Chains A and B, each alone.
Chain A
């Protein structure tokens, strides 16, 4: 039970990565695949922040000048994950615009049927 509690963030992020990967490989609807992509990216971001955690640490902000910097959480993964979240939403917006165009052209969003329709 204590091992479960200590690694609970790792279990959460690996679980999200597994569910996202399953949805992306198995499901047929294109919008469901994009939902799986969004879950996958959330899992990866959670993994990054969980690795940079320091037990008993605090947020890396000097709210008063005399705060001792000895026990602060790692700030570099937070900067990297900030970039990753914004890039994730950019990729999602472009993918959804392509989905709308695909539906207008083929009339279906089923990936098996779209692959069979040639030109």
Chain B
């Protein structure tokens, strides 16, 4: 019975999608008239923001408010997960099977290297492919490795929550400073600098570093919350 409903639903949705996709030839992008926003972002984005990575300048500067909304959604999900899995009893870390000696030594060696790589990705977000979200998730996967491999490097949840809250507040305060100085929320008020250098593109590396810290601490806290077990 359910399968019949599913087949009918798909028989409606898939032809509609196919017919509407037939109007968009693959690889043509429609007509490139100068009013389209992406023409403006590509041709003037590098001079206006100073960032070499145009996707970064779109995410942080041109569409910065959407990024603020996304950071808020992540924050709400982390709070919701902590609230649902909360229990009055004393909780401690799940007693996983002890890892072997090779695994423990390897994890202890790899953990700072993964953190360094994640920090590299979110600091150079405006020059190379990457950015705050990608670097933050790499940092969180380093923490996941530490939770599974060597049990003695586990960050206290209080530090993780403090980092996450401070980084999120830093992003909002940067936007409010832009509002106070120039009149636009999340305006880029720092000097642009020379192109393709590390200290360029104004506010973008600072905002992306704050987002990287926030996402990394948040996802590590989510994994820590999921791994706990009530006594």
Q: Do chains A and B touch in the complex (CB under 8 A)?
A: yes
Interface residues of A (CB under 8 A from B): 6-7, 9-10, 14, 17-18, 21-22, 25-26, 50-56, 59-65, 69, 72, 74-76, 78-80, 82-83, 86-87, 89-91, 93-94, 96-98, 100-101
* Sample of 11 A–B contacts (CB below 8 Å): A22-B10, A52-B29, A55-B28, A75-B38, A76-B58, A83-B70, A86-B133, A86-B215, A90-B74, A90-B77, A93-B226
Contact of B21 with A by CB under 8 A: yes
Which A residues lie within 8 Å of B96 (CB)?
none
Q: Which of B78-86, B149-157, B158-166 contacts A (4 or more CB under 8 A)?
A: B78-86
Q: Would A75 and B55 be within 8 Å (CB), given that A17-B17, A61-B128, A69-B42 are in contact?
A: yes
Chain B min CB distance to A50 (Å)? 7
What chain B residues lie within 8 Å of A100 (beta carbons)? 85, 226
For A96, the closest partner residue in chain B by CB is B226
Give every chain A residue within 8 A of B28 (Cβ-Cβ). Answer: 54-55
Per DSSP, chain B at the interface is helix
Those of B31-76 within 8 Å (CB) of chain A:
37-38, 41-43, 45-46, 52-55, 58-59, 63, 66-67, 70, 73-74, 76
Q: Are B6 and A21 in contact, with the CB atoms below 8 A?
A: yes
Instruction: Using known A-B contacts A90-B77, A101-B85, determine if residue A75 contacts B222 with beta carbons closer than 8 Å.
Output: no
Do B43 and A18 touch (CB < 8 A)?
Answer: no
Instruction: Please report the C-alpha to C-alpha distance between residue A79 and residue B59 in the assembled complex, in whole angstroms.
Output: 6
Q: Mark B201-231, 1 if CB is under 8 A from A, else 0.
A: 0000000000000010001001001100000
Distance between Cα atoms of A78 and B78 in the complex (Å): 25
B101 contacts chain A at the CB level, 8 A cutoff: no
A110 to chain B, nearest CB (A): 13
CA distance A79 to B42 in the complex (A): 13
Q: How far, in whole Å, are A86 and B218 apart by their CA atoms in the complex? A: 12
> Which residues of the partner chain A approach B58 to less than 8 Å between Cβ atoms?
75-76, 78-79
| Minimum Cβ distance to chain A for residue B61 (Å) | 11
Decide: A79 and B77 in contact? CB cutoff 8 A: no
Q: Which residues of B contact A72 (CB under 8 A)?
A: 42, 54
Q: Give CA–CA (A76, B67) in the complex, Å.
A: 13
Return chain A residues, CB-CB under 8 Å to B102.
none
